[in-house]
Amino acid sequence: MPPRALRQRLKERQDDLAPLQSRATDDTAEFPVLRPESFDEAGTAAFAVQPAARLDHLGAAVLAAAVTALLVLASTAGLAAMIGAVAVLQAVLIAGWLLALDQPGVRGAAVIGAASAAAADALLAARDRPSLAALLGVYGLAFVALIVHQLLRGPVRERVASAMAGVAALVILLGALGSFVVIRRGTDGDELVVAAVLAIGVALVVGHLVDLVVPVPRFAEGVSRGLPALLVGAAAGAVSAVWRLHDLTRVGTVASVFLGVALGLVAGLIAVGVAYAKMDPRPGARWAAPYLHVVLPLAIVAPVAYVLSRAVAG
């Protein structure tokens, strides 16, 4: 093609793209697509934190700090206070979980959850040896209760499988929160449970604060959680664990760092997963997300904290 004709084709192509480059969105397209005008604008948009996301991060950070302080103070006050603090978190988890799922049979599910939580706390606190073995009996009886609950719903039952799965997961999480009670009952339990709670709580708080400043690279489009927050949060969890366990001679510095990093990473990953709940169109999921951002990581990481605390303490 002659150079003159080539230049003419390029000019026509630029004229065709001019409307798209001058507008943020193409309203005439069947599917409007965001088109930044320049690389600088795209970079600025990537680093920008929306006001709603900023409020969500600040609220979740404050809740995480409050829950962490509650558990630390309860552990210092004694075993009974620790059981009470865990019971409060279990109540919050029941309300948030059922609100987020919005499934049929909510009242029966709440009764099963509350009964399972009370039974788990009582058995874990009353056993001669600190162990999670008592949860097996609680889970077995809860499964029978799930079947009876579905039978009592009447001949017309909708979403049976999803309802049973949701309540079963709730029962497992409620029992898992009791792991903090078991850690507290063990040797050097006060130090170990406070170190575990600090590692988890500090990782959550720092993660949300970092996402306010450096939200990229994000894990997914529309999810206001980034990789830097996960890594910095895990490092902060390691520092808090080392600070708490530095006087415990039978737990070395390397073991303390491992404990803090592991708990911080797992808690941060669970928080990233909970962030997807904000993309759920159901209003209950958005209302429950701030509370699940804190309680759900604690519930899932609690058994991990139990295993790792036994491993590092010998």
Q: In a structure prediction context, what are the per-residue pLDDT tens digits for the chain, which is 314 residues long?
A: 555 655 566 566 555 555 444 444 444 444 444 444 343 444 444 445 566 667 777 888 999 999 999 999 999 999 999 999 999 999 999 998 988 887 888 889 999 999 999 999 999 998 888 889 989 999 999 999 999 988 887 776 777 888 889 899 999 999 999 999 999 998 888 899 999 999 999 999 999 899 888 777 777 776 777 888 899 999 999 999 999 988 877 788 899 999 999 999 999 999 888 877 666 656 666 777 778 888 999 999 999 999 999 888 76
Residue 103's CB is within 10 A of a number of other CB atoms, namely 17
Query: 133: helix, coil or strand?
Result: coil
Name residues whose C-beta falls within 8 Å of residue 164's C-beta, 6 or more positions apart in sequence. 146, 147, 150
Residue 248's CB is within 10 A of a number of other CB atoms, namely 16
Residue 285 forms part of a structural domain: yes
Residue 79 forms part of a structural domain: yes
Residue 287 forms part of a structural domain: yes
Phi-psi region of 214 (alpha: psi -120 to 50; beta: other; left: phi over 0): beta
Instruction: Give burial (CB, 10 Å; 0-12/13-18/19+) of 22.
Output: exposed
The Cα 301–Cα 64 span in angstroms is 14
Residue 175 forms part of a structural domain: yes
* Number of compact structural domains in the chain: 1
Query: 31: helix, coil or strand?
Result: coil
Q: What is the pLDDT of residues 195-239, one digit of tens each?
A: 999 999 999 999 989 988 877 777 777 677 788 889 999 999 999
**Residue with token string 């690279």:** 217
Find out whether 267 and 301 touch, Cβ atoms under 8 Å. yes
The Cα 134–Cα 25 span in angstroms is 58
Is pTM beyond 0.85? Reply is: no
Residue 94 forms part of a structural domain: yes
Residue 7 forms part of a structural domain: no
The Cα 258–Cα 278 span in angstroms is 31
Query: 226: helix, coil or strand?
Result: strand
Residue 308 has a pLDDT of 92
- State the residue range of the domain holding 181: 52-313
Residue 88 forms part of a structural domain: yes
Please state the three-class secondary structure of 153-221 as a single string. CCCCCCCHHHHHHHHHHHHHHHHHHCHHHHHHHCCCHHHHHHHHHHHHHHHHHHHHHHHHHCCCCECCC
Residue 259 forms part of a structural domain: yes
Q: Which two tokens mark 252?
A: 């070395």
Q: How far is CA 192 from the centre of its chain?
A: 22
Q: Report the candidate in 304, 196, 294, 311 with the shortest Cα–Cα distance to residue 242.
A: 196
Radius of gyration, alpha carbons of the chain: 25
Side chain identity, residue 101: L
Residue 14's CB is within 10 A of a number of other CB atoms, namely 10
